[in-house]
Chain A
Amino acid sequence: MSLEFSAESKKKIAALCERYPTKRPVVLAALHLAQKEFGHLSDDALRLVGTTLDLPYAHVYGVATFYTMFRREPGGRTTIRVCTNISCMLRGGYEVLDEFSAKLKLAPGESSKSFSLVEEECIAACANAPAVLCGTKYFLDVTPAQVAAIIAELEREPRPEGEVA
């Protein structure tokens, strides 16, 4: 199945290509857009990015698999990134992650239709640890007791990461 970018994405990519001496630097932005439109980066999505930017498939594949925000498999609508790095761990980050895991019945790294649960490295919110990131929304100073309410909020108001792609 061959894919196509929406008119809006095509416009964004064309505008970005003006900002660099070649098209290759636009690969990250194009991958973000492809993930937004197609949900994940299938082989076809990678091929589309390649033909759009005149890049070999192998190059696009190499880039897409280097960065942790890109996913090759379908994921949930909202990605819940729970930081367990040092500052968060010191104030209960793992307990928060465990609570998400129990409530969502997802192990870190797993997805349902609504959610992907990710054990995240430091998200630069250490002074408000434990911190959780969902798209453009931060949940700060989170306690396990707040997790159920956070999930309910995200069910009402999903925070897809593609919002800013």
Chain B
Amino acid sequence: MALADRNTKLVSAKFGNEDAKTLAGYEKLGGYQMLRKALAMRPEDIANEVKASNLRGRGGAGFATGVKWGFVPKDAKEVHLVCNADESEPGTCKDRELIYWDPHLLVEGMVISAFALKAKHNYIYIRGEMMREYAVIAKAVEEAYARGYLGKNILGSGFECHLTVHRGAGAYICGEETALLNSLEGLRGQPRLKPPFPAIKGLFGNPTIVNNVETLMNVPFIVDKGGAWFAALGPGRSGGTRMLCVSGHVNKPGVYELPIGITFRELIDEVCGGVWKGRKAKAVIPGGTSMPPLTYDELDVPIEFDALMTDERIKPVEIAPGVPFDMGGGRQLRSMAGSGGVVVMDDHTDIPKAVWRIMKFYAHESCGQCTPCREGTGWMTKVAKRVADAQGKPGDLELLASIAHGIAGNTICALGDAAAWPMLGFLTKFRPDFEAALAASGAAA
């Protein structure tokens, strides 16, 4: 058992192999053998292997999958497993590739996970715009039914498992798990108040586990080689490998499966051929636009869930110069590993303009339920736009910080934080850029 190296490929092993997308091709490569193995195990034992594996959610929060599964009440009559395939966090483009290249791995991962959770009616919620991927996964599900990997009595085990692919119709917020459940139930995709958490009361009022595509695709490997093996692939409390999506100003943007713990600098310089045009990285979004950015000097931090939250080389986010943002109980916010979407901006980037575009996204996608989010994201977009356009007014930077601070922690779902954190993060780390934009407006900061 050893740490993963750059050649360790699990979920992306079949990228580029058209044949592997068909059931026959998948089976030829050993597909559905892990399902056979799992069905001979006890559900509790599979859940325990997942717990031991240190698999952490790849959807954004990095929550331990085995622990989440453990929240389902033991006496639940009906449980559901829902795969979150809504991928729409800007900078993130792994789930789409994973579904496209290895749809049966997702099906196999879901049936195994459903068996462990004793879940009979299960769903894949796929983003509406992913029309090509919908066609691919719908075909895989159909093939799996025809071969008896889904349906009433799977491979003679007595286990009944159904899988339905449910298409969304355009709404980033439906990636938030409770909005997703409402959308699945045929409602507007608005987040629910928590608690109750979905693991207690989710889809149709039943205990429900929502997991990301990549999370579920790792489960067959855990069943195959064991939780301890998977845990050993990664450092600390993060098992396995990680899909990283690198975009922006690098020579070789791409979707790469890499060891957890590779640093941002290694990722950019060694995997992605460096920053384009011989330039230098200025800002790096570490895991989707919702996460506070890093500066050039912070790129030696490993891309690992805990490191991004606690590594002291990352300057904490502030609400004003010298005043740290308090996440509650005095906890500071550095950054988070998020969704694996790494966006690199070179030293020619217009930072205020980039921030305006990010804010415009959140304003467009706010579901409108909470006043701080609905009004605040709109205001931040407006003010960021005028600053970027050299039309800013004195006090605009304080205004942006105060709106963001007013949103953070005061909303029903995390979209509010997702807008507020990068706003505060960019203001904290790239203040001179905003000040220059204000100076160009003829308004001193």
Contact between B127 and A124 (Cβ–Cβ < 8 Å)? yes
Q: A90-B354, A121-B361 are in contact. Are A68 and B184 (CB under 8 A)?
A: no
Name the CB-closest residue of B to A24: B186
Write out, one digit per residue, whether chain B residues 168-196 have a CB within 8 A of any chain A CB (1) or not (0).
11111000000000011111110000000
User: Are B170 and A89 closer than 8 Å at their CB atoms?
Assistant: no
Q: Cβ of A63: which chain B residues have Cβ within 8 Å of it?
A: 186-188
| Set of chain A residues within 8 Å of B183, measured between Cβ atoms | 28
A80-134 at interface with B (beta carbon < 8 Å): 81, 84-87, 89-91, 120-129, 133
B349 within 8 A of A: yes
Closest to A85 in B: B90
Contacts of B254 in A (CB 8 A): 127
Whether A125 contacts B96 by the Cβ 8 Å rule is yes
CB atoms of B365 and A90 under 8 A apart: no
B143-185 contacts to A (CB < 8 Å): 162, 164, 166-172, 183-185
Contact indicator A122/B343 (Cβ below 8 Å): no
Question: Which segment of B233-241, B244-252, B307-315 sits at the interface?
Answer: B244-252
Chain B residues near A123 (CB-CB < 8 A): 129
Q: Does A32 contact B (CB under 8 A)?
A: yes
Contacts of B89 in A (CB 8 A): 122
B357 at the interface (CB under 8 A from A): yes
A28 and chain B: residue at smallest CB distance: B169
Decide if B169 touches A70 in the complex (CB within 8 Å): yes
| Residues in A whose Cβ lies below 8 Å from that of B352 | none
Are A31 and B169 touching (Cβ within 8 A)?
A: yes
Chain B residues positioned under 8 Å from A20 (CB to CB): 164
**A16: B residues at CB distance < 8 A:** 164
Q: Which residue of B is nearest A79, CB measured?
A: B129
Complex CA gap A150/B221 in Å reads 41
Q: Does B140 reach chain A (CB closer than 8 Å)?
A: no
B172 contacts which chain A residues (CB < 8 A)? Answer: 121
User: A87 and B131 in contact (CB under 8 A), knowing A63-B187, A69-B170?
Assistant: no
Say yes or no: B91 contacts A126, CB within 8 Å. yes
Complex Cα–Cα for A81 and B343 (A):
21
Render A1-25 as a binary contact track against B, CB cut-off 8 A, 1 for contact. Answer: 0000000000000001001111011
Residues of A near B223 (CB, < 8 A) are none
For residue A86, which residues in chain B have a CB less than 8 angstroms away from its CB? Answer: 90-91, 248, 285, 289, 343, 354, 357-358, 361
The closest CB in chain B to the CB of A136 belongs to B132
Whether a CB of chain B sits under 8 angstroms from the CB of A37 is no
B345's contact among A28, A55, A90, A121, by CB below 8 Å, is which? A90
Main secondary structure of the interface of B (DSSP, over half): mixed
CB-contacts of A34-87 with B (<8 A): 55, 62-63, 66-70, 81, 84-87
Would you give the shortest CB distance from B162 to chain A, in whole angstroms?
7
Of A55, A122, A127, the most chain B CB neighbours within 10 A belong to A127
- A13 to B103 Cα, complex, angstroms: 24
Q: Which residues of B contact A156 (CB under 8 A)?
A: none
The reply to whether the CB of B92 lies closer than 8 angstroms to some CB of chain A is yes
The complex places the Cα of A29 from the Cα of B95 at a distance, in Å, of 22
Q: Mask for B89-133, Cβ within 8 A of A = 1, else 0? A: 111110110000000000000000000000001000001111110
Query: Does A163 interact with chain B (Cβ within 8 Å)?
Result: yes
Q: Does B135 contact A (CB under 8 A)?
A: yes
Q: How far is the CB of B302 from chain A (nearest CB, A)?
A: 21
Q: Does B210 contact A (CB under 8 A)?
A: no
How far, in whole Å, are A29 and B167 apart by their CA atoms in the complex? 7
- Interface, chain B (partner A; CB < 8 A): 87-93, 95-96, 121, 127-132, 134-135, 162, 164, 166-172, 183-189, 204, 245-249, 253-255, 285, 289, 341, 343, 345, 349, 354, 357-358, 361, 364-365
Closest 4 CB pairs of A and B: A68-B170, A67-B169, A24-B186, A87-B247
List 21 A-B residue pairs with CB atoms under 8 Å apart, sorted by A's residue number: A16-B164, A25-B186, A28-B128, A29-B166, A32-B167, A66-B189, A67-B128, A81-B129, A86-B354, A87-B91, A90-B354, A91-B249, A124-B95, A125-B93, A126-B92, A126-B341, A127-B246, A129-B248, A129-B253, A163-B131, A164-B135
